Amino acid sequence: MLKVKKLLEKIATNLKIISTGTVSDVSVPANGYTDVSVNFGKTYKSNPTVNVSLLSTSTAGAIGNVTAAVLSVSTTGATFRVFNAGTNPRTPSLQWTAIGGGTA
């Protein structure tokens, strides 16, 4: 029974917790940027690895002038910066994922 308990403790220690979310219609000015903050809905033991990507139904080639980056990460949330190098404002959506080792 002790071996099973130790195995379960090891699994729990190495378990990765995943949070995901979407931020709709981020207003980004022409030749500018907008910062967007999200909450993970849980508190990780340490800062998780966070990824962000753009979601858009635009058929305009100029949507290629828009990009998103992770600006900062904490145990409870993250801030993204959405850049627009184009001459027209854009409203992309963001999809994000946080993966970390357990929750506090």
Q: What is the pTM of this model?
A: 0.84
Short-list 45, 52, 67, 37, CA closest to 98: 52
Asked whether 65 and 32 are in contact (CB, 8 A), the reply is: no
Short-list 40, 37, 92, 41, CA closest to 64: 92
pLDDT for residue 7: 67
Q: What is the pLDDT along the chain (104 residues), one digit of tens a residue?
A: 667 777 666 666 667 889 999 999 999 999 999 999 999 999 999 999 999 999 888 787 778 899 999 999 999 999 999 999 999 999 999 999 999 987 66
Domains in the chain (CATH in brackets) are 16-100 (2.60.40.2080)
**Residue where the block lists tokens 């909450």:** 39
